[in-house]
Structure 1
Amino acid sequence: MDEPKSVRVSDEVRGGVESSIHGFSTSIGPLLIFGSFFGALALPSALWAMFVTATVVPMLAWAFRSHAALHFGSRAASLTAYAALILQLGFASSGSVGHGSLPTAQEFMTGLAAGSLLYALASVMVLLAGVFKLGHLFKMIPSTVTAGISNSTALLLVWLAGRQLWGNTWRADVVAAVMVVAFWLWSRWQVQSGLLRLVPNVLVAVLLGLVVNSWVGPTLAGQAIGVGADAIQSNYGLWPALLNHEHIGHLLVQGLPGALTLALVMILESFTAVHVMESRFGLRMHANRELMALGGANLVSALVGGVPGTPSPIRCISNRLAGGRGPVALWVAFVMTGLGLLVLMPWLLALPAGIVAGLFLLQAPLLVDPAFKRRLTESISKRRWHHEGSADMGFWITTFITLAGFFGNLVWACFLGIGLSCLAVLRRVSHSLTSEWRYLDQYRSRRVRSMSEISVLEQSVHQIGILQLTGHLFFGNSTRLTQLLDELNPQVCAVVVDVSTVNDADPSGLDALSWLIRALLGQKLMVVLTGHQQTPSFNLRQVLSVQPGVLFSSDLDRGLERCEEFVLQRSPCAPTKLQRVPVASNLLLKGFDDDDLHVARLMLEPRQLAQGVALFHRFDEADGIWLLEEGMVSILSGATDACRLATFGPGQFLGEMGFVDGQSRSATAVADTPLSAVFVSNQNLLMLARSRPHAALKLTLNIARELSNRTRNSSAKPNEDNNGDVEGWANSQLLSTLSRF
Structure 2
Amino acid sequence: MLVALPSAIAFGVTIYSVLGAQYGAQGAVAGILGTVALGLLAPLFGGTNRLISAPCAPAAAVLGAFAIDHMSRGGSPELGLLLLALMGLMAGGLQLLMGALSLGRLIKYMPYPVVSGYLSGVGMIIIASQLPRFLGLPKGTGFWGALGSPEMWRWQGMVVGGATIAVMLTAPKITKKVPAPVLGLAAGIATYLTLGLADPALLTLEGNKFVVGALGGGEGGGLIEAFSDRWNALGQLGFNALRDLVLPALTLAVLLSIDTLKTCVVLDALTRTRHDSNRELLGQGLGNLAAAALGGVPGAGTMGATLVNMSSGATTKLSGLVEGIAALIAFVLLANLISWVPVASLSGILLVIGVRMIDWHSLGFLKHRATVLDFAVIAAVIACALTISLIVASGVGVVLAVLLFIREQVHGSVVRAIVSGDQTFSKRVRVQAERDILTEKGGQTAIVELQGSLFFGTTSQLYHALEADLKRRKYLILDMRRVQAVDITAAHMLDQIKDMLGERGGMLIFSRIPKHVPSGKDMEDYFDQVGLVRSSHKVRAFAELNEAMEWVEDQLIAEAALAHNDEIPLELFEIELFAARKRETLAELEVQMEKRHVAAGEVIFSIGDHGDELYLIRKGSVRIVLPVGQGQIHHLATFGRGAFFGEMAFLDGEARSANAVAFSDVDLYVLSRQQFDAFTDSHKKIALNMMEGLASVLAARLRYTNAELRALQA
Normalised to the residue count of structure 2, the TM-score between the two structures is 0.66
Match of 1:69 in 2: 50
Identity, in percent, stands at 18
Distance 1:568 1:186 in 2: 84
Instruction: Name the structure 2 match of 1:265.
Output: 251
Q: CA deviation at 1:490?
A: 1.7
Q: What amino acid sits opposite 2:589 in the alignment?
A: M
Residue 623 of structure 2 aligns to which amino acid in structure 1? Answer: I
* Counterpart residue number, 1:153: 119
Deviation per CA, 1:553-595: give whole Å up to 9, x if none.
7854232123245567899xxxx969699978977579x9x99
- The residue number in structure 2 matching 1:50 is 31
Aligned residue pairs total 638
CA distance, structure 2, for counterparts of residue 184 and residue 49 of structure 1: 32
Q: How does 1:427-442 map to 2 (within 5 A)?
A: 439-440=419-420
Distance of 2:436 and 2:196 partners within structure 1: 89
Q: Which moved more, 1:162-171 or 1:109-118?
A: 162-171
Q: How does 1:542-581 map to 2 (within 5 A)?
A: 544=533, 546-550=535-539, 556-564=545-553
2:253 partner amino acid: I
Matched with 2:144 is: none
- Please say which of residues 538-547 and 42-51 is displaced more in the overlay: 538-547
Show the counterpart of 1:686.
677
Q: What is the one-letter code of the residue matched to 2:298? A: P
Q: CA deviation at 1:51?
A: 3.5
Structure 1 residue 408 and structure 2 residue 384: aligned?
yes
Give the structure 2 partner of residue 202 of structure 1.
Answer: 180
Deviations 1:187-206 (A, max 9, x none): 7xxxxxxxxxxx24637974
Matches for 1:113-512 after TM superposition, within 5 Å: 113-116=81-84, 118-119=86-87, 121-122=89-90, 125-126=93-94, 129=97, 134-145=100-111, 149=115, 153=119, 157=123, 180=169, 183-184=172-173, 199-200=177-178, 202=180, 206=184, 223-227=210-214, 228-230=216-218, 231=220, 232=222, 233-243=224-234, 245=235, 248=236, 251-282=237-268, 283-285=273-275, 290-325=280-315, 326-328=317-319, 329-331=322-324, 334=327, 338=331, 343-351=337-345, 402-409=378-385, 411-415=391-395, 439-440=419-420, 444-448=425-429, 463-466=444-447, 484-491=462-469, 492-496=473-477
The residue type paired with residue 224 of structure 1 is V
Name structure 1 gaps, 5 residues minimum.
1-15, 92-97, 188-198, 387-394, 720-726, 731-741
Q: 1:525 to 1:32 in 2, by over 3 A?
A: same
Deviation at 1:494, TM superposition (A): 0.6
Aligned amino acid, residue 685 of structure 1? F
Structure 1 vs Structure 2 CA RMSD: 6.1
CA 1:397/1:152 → structure 2, altered by over 3 Å: closer, same or farther? farther
Tell me the equivalent position of 1:637.
625
Separation in 2 of the partners of 1:359 and 1:538? 53
**AA of the residue aligned to 1:657:** M
C-alpha separation in 1, matches of 2:295 and 2:189: 36
Answer yes or no: is the 8 Å Cα contact 2:476–2:509 preserved in 1.
yes
CA distance in 1, matches of 2:639, 2:586: 22
Distance 2:77 2:615 in 1: 100
Amino acid corresponding to residue 334 of structure 1 in structure 2 = A
Residues 146, 275 of structure 1: 8 Å contact kept: no
Paired with 2:19 and 2:101, the residues of 1 have a C-alpha distance of 35
Q: 1:655 aligns with which of 646, 661, 664?
A: 646
Please state how far the C-alpha of 1:493 moved relative to its aligned partner: 2.5
Q: CA 1:430–1:654 in structure 2 vs 1: closer, same or farther (change >3 Å)?
A: farther
Structure 1 pair 288–558 and aligned structure 2 pair: CA distance change class (3 A)? closer
Q: Does 1:31 align with 2:22?
A: no
Deviation at 1:28, TM superposition (A): 0.5
Residues 49 and 578 from structure 1, CA distance in 2 versus in 1: closer, same or farther, beyond 3 angstroms? closer
CA distance in 2 between partners of 1:521 and 1:45 (Å): 77
1:376-404 Cα shifts (integer Å, max 9, x gaps): 99x99xx8776xxxxxxxx9998676545
Tell me how far apart the structure 2 counterparts of residues 286 and 671 of structure 1 sit (CA, whole Å): 50
Alpha-carbon shift at residue 272 of structure 1 (Å): 1.8
CA distance in 2, matches of 1:224, 1:358: 19
Q: Which amino acid aligns with 1:618?
A: F
CA contact (8 A) 2:455 2:490 kept: yes
Name whichever of 111-120 and 331-340 sits farther off: 331-340
Per the TM alignment, residue 470 of structure 1 is displaced from its structure 2 partner at its CA by 11
Cα 1:633/1:514, change in 2 over 3 Å: same
User: For the structure 1 residues 280 and 67, does the alpha-carbon distance in structure 2 shift closer, same or farther, using more than 3 Å as the test?
Assistant: closer
Contact 1:49-1:307 within 8 A present in 2 as well? yes
Q: Which residue of 2 aligns with 1:13?
A: none
Give, in whole Å, the separation in 2 of the partners of 1:347 and 1:290. Answer: 33
The match for 1:603 is: 589
**Aligned counterparts of 2:174 and 2:576: Cα–Cα separation in 1:** 81
Structure 1 CA distance, aligned partners of 2:597 and 2:311? 77
Aligned position for 2:59: 78
Is the deviation greater in 299-308 or in 413-422? 413-422
Give 1:84 deviation, angstroms.
4.2
Deviation per CA, 1:176-216: give whole Å up to 9, x if none: 577546525757xxxxxxxxxxx2463797499779989x9
Between the aligned partners of 1:235 and 1:570, the Cα distance in structure 2 is: 90
CA deviation string 1:252-280 (max 9, x = no partner): 31122333234323432342244224322
Q: How far is the alpha carbon of 1:547 from its aligned partner?
A: 1.9
Alpha-carbon distance in structure 1 between the residues aligned to 2:43 and 2:601: 74
Retained in 2: the 8 A contact 1:65–1:293? yes
CA distance in 1, matches of 2:23, 2:585: 114
Rounded Cα–Cα distance in structure 2 between residues aligned with 1:173 and 1:67:
37
